[in-house]
């Protein structure tokens, strides 16, 4: 019985990947990215796991540290039984400065577990497109600041938006509930 | 049998009922028609509605190419014919809301062929421009072009020009849009920048207005409330307020009967063609 469950757990991501994308999946954009290891990532590669996604930039001194703190707290509160089915993805809003190497160093500096956290670097047009898909707004303000929406989004395994936490002062409970529901779906 | 809108329009053209210059080239390098359909705009500068923390700003805009006319229903129908995934029947809901190309169901396509296409989402407009080897204009490019009057690159100081634009905003939405070739050209030779439809820009979601974007609610306050007006360089520029408000409330899947688009390209395209 245990073996059956183990095999099913292994096969589930493959089955999800083989199924057609839901019509309302954000992965319909089909854009191509590079992760912190300089590996190519098609956005649809993220399917199969519940994704907790946000848009940041590494040299952000204003709200990004708070967003990251929220994500770390979320991560610590995800029940052990769900943890392997959830990934946290940070998309950089600054493709010019946030190269994959910079993203790698940032993750090391912040102690982000690469087995469960991902950072994405993309073409400026693809960043614009994906941010628009999430309803994220951003604008460079001078050389060292990018004003942007503070938003954490929960995607189900097919890439459908299940919940968005907008703003910095929201209770994390609702986001955790959305993650749990997406895992169980 | 399904008859595509492009086929319907093509038939009407053969019948001689519509003036049609033919389809646009698929890429910038195809022939000179690409250049003929576009105007060179800039270099120039414009003063955005909102100042930043250091005061009023002057945005420098490098030269670029811009379609002389908004994209028409005919042109978009041809695009859909070549790219069925962007048809009203096939488009995914993540790319457009339910009103996508609604006018094609309700109106005679031969009658609206030369009108600006509306009810098109940002994703669809972007896909159209990309297929043409172009892109959507940026916020700054559109504003630079839009400040030109018929005879000056910057007509914003001209009370008559400003009044002309305000009169459009004071009118209800146009029920019947004009054919694009019947719209007025500005200094750059670009037609119908005001008084016809709102137009999409590539970076519409930069409409944050100020740097005080520490929370989303603050962004909204800065844009819509008195605090926004206090930070404006020219609080009397009502038309600019309207455009900023439209862009800041717009989402990429929205389709509006008064929202269209035109495409832009880097000026490098021009240099490339001349060298060829």
Q: What is the pLDDT of residues A89-131, one digit of tens each?
A: 999 999 999 999 999 999 999 999 999 999 999 999 999 999 9
pLDDT (tens digit, 9 = 90+) per residue, B10-38? 433 333 333 333 333 333 333 444 557 99
- Which residues in chain B are closer than 8 Å to A167, comparing Cβ atoms? 215-217
Look up residue A142 and give its DSSP letter: S
A62, A132, A148, best to mutate vs chain B, most B CBs in 10 Å: A132
More confident residue, A65 or B220: A65
B48, B54, B92, B94, best to mutate vs chain A, most A CBs in 10 Å: B94
Task: In whole angstroms, give the CA distance from residue B262 to residue B48.
Answer: 21
Query: Confidence class of residue A24 from pLDDT cuts 50, 70 and 90?
Result: very high
Cβ contact (<8 Å) for A23 and B94? Answer: yes
Is B126's Cβ below 8 Å from some Cβ in A? yes
Query: Confidence class of residue B227 from pLDDT cuts 50, 70 and 90?
Result: very low
Name the residue of chain B whose CA is nearest to A133's CA. B252
Q: Tell me the average pLDDT of chain B.
A: 78
Is B249's Cβ below 8 Å from some Cβ in A? no
pLDDT for B225 equals 25
Look up residue A80 and give its DSSP letter: H
DSSP collapsed to 3 states, chain B: CCCCHHHHHHHHHHCCCCCCCCCCCCCCCCCCHHHHCEEEECCEEECCCECECCECCCEEECCEEEECCCCEHHHHHHHHHHCHHHCCCCCCCCCCCCCCCCHHHHCCHHHHCCCECCCCCHHHHHHHHHHCCCECCCHHHHHHHHCCCCCCCCCCCCHHHHHHHHHHHHCCCCCCCCCHHHCCECCCCCECCCCCCEECCCCHHHCCCCCCCCCHHHHHHHHHCHHHHHCECCCCCHHHHHHHHHHHHCCCCCCCCCEECCCEEECHHHHHHHHC
Q: Which residues, listed in sequence order, are joined to residue A138 by a DSSP beta bridge?
A: A148
Look up residue A88 and give its DSSP letter: E
Tokens of B66: 């811009």
Backbone angles phi, psi at B30, to 5 degrees: -60, -55
Cβ contact (<8 Å) for A129 and B93? Answer: no
CATH number at residue B61: 3.90.1580
Range A21-184 has CATH code 3.40.30.10? yes
Cβ contact (<8 Å) for B219 and A28? Answer: no
pLDDT for B15 equals 33
Run of H or E including A180? helix A173-184
pLDDT for B147 equals 93
A139 touches A30 (CB < 8 A): no
Cβ contact (<8 Å) for A26 and B213? Answer: no
Run of H or E including A151? strand A151-155
More confident residue, B232 or A1: B232
pLDDT for B210 equals 39
List Cβ neighbours of A54 (8 Å cut-off, separation of 6 or more). Answer: A67, A71, A89, A90, A91, A151, A152, A153
pLDDT for B158 equals 86
Pick from A23, A132, A168: CB nearest B205: A132
Which SS3 state, helix, strand or coil, does residue A1 take?
coil
Q: Which residues of B188-214 are buried (b: 16+ CB within 10 A; e: fewer)?
A: bebbbbbebbbbbbbbbbbbbbbbbbe
B206, B217, B218, B264, best to mutate vs chain A, most A CBs in 10 Å: B206
Cβ contact (<8 Å) for A147 and B211? Answer: yes
Is B95's Cβ below 8 Å from some Cβ in A? yes
pLDDT (tens digit, 9 = 90+) per residue, B135-160? 999 999 999 999 999 999 999 888 88
Helix orientation angle between A64-77 and A173-184, rounded to the nearest 10 degrees: 50
pLDDT (tens digit, 9 = 90+) per residue, B174-193? 568 999 999 999 999 999 99
Look up residue A160 and give its DSSP letter: B
Task: In whole angstroms, give the CA distance from residue B178 to residue B13.
Answer: 18
pLDDT for B25 equals 35
Structural domain boundaries, residue B185: 5-275
Look up residue A20 and give its DSSP letter: P
Is B216's Cβ below 8 Å from some Cβ in A? yes
- Which residues in chain A are closer than 8 Å to B215, comparing Cβ atoms? 63, 150, 167-169
Q: Which residues of A105-128 are buried (b: 16+ CB within 10 A; e: fewer)?
A: ebbeeeebeeeebbbbbbeeebbb
Cα of first residue to Cα of last residue in chain B, in angstroms, is: 44
Cβ contact (<8 Å) for A167 and B219? Answer: no
pLDDT for B51 equals 65
Tokens of A44: 């649809």
Task: In whole angstroms, give the CA distance from residue A15 to residue B11.
Answer: 47
Please state, for a pLDDT cut of 70, what percent of chain A lies above it. Answer: 90
Which SS3 state, helix, strand or coil, does residue A41 take?
strand
**Is the pLDDT assigned to residue B39 strictly greater than 70?**
yes
Query: Confidence class of residue A37 from pLDDT cuts 50, 70 and 90?
Result: very high
Look up residue A25 and give its DSSP letter: B
Cβ contact (<8 Å) for B215 and A145? Answer: no
Query: How much is the CA Rg of chain B, to the nearest whole Å?
Result: 19
B204 upstream amide cis, omega within 30 of 0: no
Task: In whole angstroms, give the CA distance from residue A131 to residue B32.
Answer: 35
Backbone angles phi, psi at B109, to 5 degrees: -60, -35
Task: In whole angstroms, give the CA distance from residue A109 to residue B7.
Answer: 59
**Is the pLDDT assigned to residue B241 strictly greater than 90?**
no
- Which residues in chain B are closer than 8 Å to A129, comparing Cβ atoms? 123, 126
Is A150's Cβ below 8 Å from some Cβ in B? yes
Cβ contact (<8 Å) for B207 and A137? Answer: yes
Tokens of B15: 């019948």
CA nearest neighbour of B139 among B244, B13, B17, B258: B244
Domain count, chain B: 1
């Amino acid at each position: 019985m245990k073996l059956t469950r183990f095999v099913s757990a292994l096969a589930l991501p493959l089955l999800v990947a083989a199924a057609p994308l839901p019509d309302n999946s954000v992965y319909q954009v089909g854009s191509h990215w590079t992760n912190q290891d300089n590996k190519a990532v098609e956005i649809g590669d993220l399917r199969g796991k519940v994704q907790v996604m946000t848009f940041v930039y590494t040299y952000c001194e204003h709200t990004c540290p708070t967003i990251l703190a929220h994500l770390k707290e979320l991560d610590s509160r995800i029940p052990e039984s769900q943890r392997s089915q959830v990934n946290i993805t940070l998309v950089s809003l600054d493709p010019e400065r946030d190269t994959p190497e910079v993203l790698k160093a940032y993750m090391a500096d912040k102690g982000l577990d690469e087995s469960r956290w991902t950072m994405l670097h993309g073409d400026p047009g693809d960043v614009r497109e994906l941010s628009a898909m999430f309803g994220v707004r951003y604008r460079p303000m001078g050389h060292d600041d990018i004003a942007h929406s503070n938003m954490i989004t929960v995607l189900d395994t097919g890439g459908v938006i299940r919940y968005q936490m907008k703003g910095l002062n929201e209770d994390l409970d609702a986001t955790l509930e959305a993650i749990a529901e997406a895992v169980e779906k | 049998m399904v008859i595509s809108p492009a086929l319907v329009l093509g038939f009407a053209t053969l019948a001689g009922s519509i003036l049609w210059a033919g389809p646009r080239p698929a890429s910038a390098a195809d022939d000179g028609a690409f250049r003929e359909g576009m105007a060179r705009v800039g270099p120039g500068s414009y003063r955005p509605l909102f100042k930043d923390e250091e005061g009023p700003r002057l945005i420098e805009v490098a030269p670029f190419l811009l379609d002389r006319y908004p994209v028409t229903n005919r042109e978009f129908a041809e695009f859909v014919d070549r790219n069925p995934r962007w048809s009203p029947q096939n488009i995914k809901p993540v790319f457009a809301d339910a009103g996508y190309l609604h006018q094609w169901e309700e109106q005679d396509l031969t009658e609206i062929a030369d009108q600006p296409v509306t009810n098109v989402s940002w994703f669809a407009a972007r896909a159209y421009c990309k297929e043409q080897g172009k892109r959507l204009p940026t916020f700054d490019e559109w504003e630079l072009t839009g400040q030109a009057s018929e005879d000056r690159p910057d007509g914003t100081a001209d009370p008559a020009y400003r009044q002309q634009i305000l009169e459009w905003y004071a009118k209800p939405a146009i029920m019947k849009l004009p054919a694009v070739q019947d719209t007025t050209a500005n200094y750059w030779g670009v037609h119908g920048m005001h008084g016809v439809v709102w137009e999409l820009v590539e970076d519409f979601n930069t409409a944050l207005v100020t740097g005080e974007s520490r929370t989303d609610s603050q962004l909204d306050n800065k844009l819509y409330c008195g605090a926004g007006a206090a930070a404006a360089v020219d609080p009397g520029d009502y038309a600019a307020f309207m455009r900023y408000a439209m862009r800041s409330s717009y989402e990429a899947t929205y389709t509006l009967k008064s929202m269209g688009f035109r495409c832009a390209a880097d000026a490098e395209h021009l240099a490339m063609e001349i060298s060829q």
